[in-house]
């Protein structure tokens, strides 16, 4: 073996090691993002331990970005004054109250009668967002909750605190408390005051973003490989092998399953379809066309049989 033919080997070995190191770093980064990047922060509109407030615990269970809905499990804690003082261990209500909750799907007022035990109930909230910007879509909602009692036909508001959790895989929940410009006010013996509104934002977690972009990157690699093989073959740098057309066709039919494997199942018409998926299909079809032309140009002609004398 000559010295000239042995020179490229260290360079190729270095490239292979570099690719392996990059792949290992990306793998570890994805695992860390999945383990530590899927949680948001709990939002409270007041002191969660206030004994004189109605506390509404909202625990998200699922996010439907297409229909713009967030499902939550709701648990309500009544003030100590709404329980029997002679029975400290009782969980049943000694007085009733109503809870107004917006914006929800279905009944907006939940009634609690004397003797009831508040239980966990499922509530669906409306959100505002744009799924077409997947995976950068952000969905927001302003949760307005107010508990009140009715005495002699007059509604008396109760101090109400809202706590929103954050434990939906693939989503990050965050938010803040809005005291002004919400239009929600309440009037009692102390006057009229704004009602704190919990503004919640829901975004996709970092692990979902990385997963989506890795998958989109793999989609881009497919037409790149097909075009490389097709162009090299058309220029006569490689021998024509008709079986490669099956490989190219399989790559073409693999686009739809891979696209459907994106987390969150973005609807058809998202920006990734116009900027990535469409051009992946165009590249694959172009590569297949070029390879067929190369087969027609460089392929071995069929042997013609000579007519018998």
Question: Do residues 163 and 64 share a domain?
Answer: yes
pLDDT digits (tens, 9 = 90+) for 152-173: 777 788 888 888 887 788 888 8
- Under the banding of pLDDT at 50, 70 and 90, the label for residue 4 is very low
Instruction: Provide the token pair at 278.
Output: 């469409």
Indicate if the alpha-carbon torsion angle 306, 307, 308, 309 is positive or negative.
negative
What is the CATH number for 142? 2.70.170
Closest by alpha carbon to 175, among 299, 28, 58?
A: 58
Contact 111, 96 (CB under 8 A): yes
Boundaries of domain holding 145: 43-204
Domain endpoint, select from 175, 204, 233: 204
Q: Taking a C-beta distance cutoff of 8 angstroms, is the pair 262, 202 a contact?
A: no
Measured at the alpha carbon of residue 19, what is the angle toward residues 15 and 23, in degrees to the nearest 5? 170
58 and 171 co-located in one domain? yes
Strands 138-151 and 197-204: antiparallel
Q: Are residues 228 and 139 in the same domain?
A: no
Query: CA dist 132 to 129, 154, 268, Å?
Result: 9, 47, 9
Do 185 and 260 belong together in one domain? no
- At 199-241, the pLDDT tens digits run 889 999 888 888 888 899 999 999 999 999 999 999 988 888 8
Q: Is residue 181 part of a domain?
A: yes
> Where does a domain end: 187, 204, 221?
204
Counted domains in the chain:
2
């Amino acid at each position: 073996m000559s010295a000239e033919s042995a020179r490229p080997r260290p360079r190729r070995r270095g490239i292979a090691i570099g690719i392996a190191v990059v792949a290992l770093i990306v793998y570890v980064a994805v695992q860390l993002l999945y383990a530590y990047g899927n949680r948001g922060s709990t939002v409270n509109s007041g002191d969660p331990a206030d004994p004189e407030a109605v506390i509404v615990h909202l625990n998200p269970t699922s996010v439907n970005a297409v229909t713009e809905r967030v499902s939550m499990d709701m648990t309500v804690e009544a003030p100590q004054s709404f329980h029997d003082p002679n029975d400290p261990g009782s969980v049943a209500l000694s007085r009733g109250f109503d809870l107004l909750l917006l914006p929800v799907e279905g009944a907006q007022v939940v009634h609690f009668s004397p003797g009831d035990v508040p239980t966990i109930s499922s509530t669906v909230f409306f959100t505002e967002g744009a799924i077409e910007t997947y995976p950068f879509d952000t969905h927001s909602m302003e949760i307005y909750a107010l508990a009140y009692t009715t005495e002699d036909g007059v509604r008396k508001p109760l101090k109400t605190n809202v706590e929103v959790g954050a434990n939906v895989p693939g989503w990050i929940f965050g938010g803040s408390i809005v005291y002004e410009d919400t239009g929600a006010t309440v009037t009692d013996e102390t006057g009229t005051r704004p009602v704190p509104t919990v503004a919640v934002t829901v975004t996709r977690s970092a692990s979902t973003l990385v997963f989506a972009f890795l998958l989109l990157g793999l989609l881009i690699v497919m037409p790149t490989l097909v075009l490389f093989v097709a162009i090299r073959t058309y220029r006569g740098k490689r021998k024509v092998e008709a079986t490669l057309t099956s490989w190219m066709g399989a790559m073409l039919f693999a686009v739809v399953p891979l696209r459907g494997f994106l987390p969150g199942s973005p609807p058809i018409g998202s920006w990734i379809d116009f900027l990535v998926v469409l051009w992946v299909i165009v590249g694959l079809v172009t590569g297949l066309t070029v390879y067929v032309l190369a087969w027609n140009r460089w392929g071995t002609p069929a042997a013609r049989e000579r007519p018998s004398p």
